[in-house]
Structure 1
Amino acid sequence: MSKRDAVFPPDRHALYEAHGYSPAIRSGEFLFVSGQVGSRPDGSAEPDFAAQVRRAFANLEAVLAAGGCSFDDIVDVMTFHTDPENQLPAVMEAKNRVFPQSPYPSWTAIGVTWLAGFDFEIKVVARIPAS
């Protein structure tokens, strides 16, 4: 079995250590990014939902960069929402900023009842660009 090639951003937040997971795993030409939430450096949630979504995207961007990727390299997105119907406008605003035009990545949105104190999470798979 091959060893996991873990990827961490320079300013890793407290949740990685507290819950024992890697922000991303590099495997072949793909980067598998763990669900990113709107956590502050100490692991606490942004209280305002729109700010939490923006911070989740910023945390995702930092992990992608650490793995040699950008939003343009994302091929698959999965998001988790505690109140999808009411949260959609804030999520779409952030989504449209990072994916302003087609072709868009594939996207699956899932309504959930619990996200460990958060209200939004985004998980992606990106293709690592050839160097």
Structure 2
Amino acid sequence: MTVHLHRKPKGLGEPLGRYSHVGVVADGDPVFIAGQVGMAEDGQLYGDGSFADQVRGAYANLGTALAAVGGTFADIVKMTTYLVGGGTHLPEFMSVRGEVFAEIYPDGGYPPNTLLFVERLVEEPLLIEIEAVAAVPGAAQVAVDDA
């Protein structure tokens, strides 16, 4: 799959964080991944349920969803991130996301991302949700195991 990322197209300012302003898909089947939260397969919050563990868990779940259709983080065209609590968690989010992105985007090619602050998510203890759009060659032919 080929995604061309344009961090700072002419006429736009420098991005305010780890993202590109534009992502263009050259090939691949569109994949739309529902918001992933910091909840493990067993229904429990990741780790001790802390904000940092929920962030790591949400990215882990996003990676699992991508893998289910033969994709990787490199196939993501766009992410949308929702944080509960206004700007309360923003510094910690930026720090943890920096650690995670260093692993999943070692070349610094970050996809476009929109970050929103929300009052709450579907369940009270959840503090972060990340949804994504990806383009994965052959994803439409992958037999996903729906447990």
TM-score normalized by structure 2? 0.62
After TM superposition, the structure 1 stretch with the greater mean CA deviation from structure 2, 119-128 or 76-85, is: 76-85
What is the distance in 1 between the residues matched to 2:82 and 2:98? 13
Aligned-residue CA RMSD (Å) = 2.0
After TM superposition, the structure 1 stretch with the greater mean CA deviation from structure 2, 77-86 or 108-117, is: 77-86
Assess if the C-alpha contact under 8 Å between 1:80 and 1:120 holds in 2.
Answer: yes
* Higher-Rg member (1/2): 2
Higher relative contact order (CA 8 A, sep 6+): 2
Query: Pairwise mapping of residues 38-117 of structure 1 onto structure 2 (< 5 A)?
Result: 38-46=38-46, 47-82=49-84, 83-115=89-121, 116=123, 117=125
What is the distance in 2 between the residues matched to 1:107 and 1:101? 17
Deviation at 1:68, TM superposition (A): 1.5
Deviation at 1:128, TM superposition (A): 1.1
What is the distance in 2 between the residues matched to 1:81 and 1:96? 21
How many equivalent pairs are there? 104
Aligned-partner residue type, residue 118 of structure 1: L
Deviation at 1:29, TM superposition (A): 1.3
Q: Could you tell me which runs of 5 or more consecutive residues in structure 2 were left unpaired when the two chains were aligned.
A: 1-27, 140-147
TM-score normalized by structure 1? 0.69
Partner residue in 1 for 2:22? none
Assess if the C-alpha contact under 8 Å between 1:33 and 1:124 holds in 2.
Answer: yes
Partner residue in 2 for 1:3? none
Point out 4+ residue stretches in structure 1 off by more than 4 angstroms. Answer: none
SS of alignment partner, residue 66 of structure 2 = helix
After TM superposition, the structure 1 stretch with the greater mean CA deviation from structure 2, 93-102 or 106-115, is: 93-102
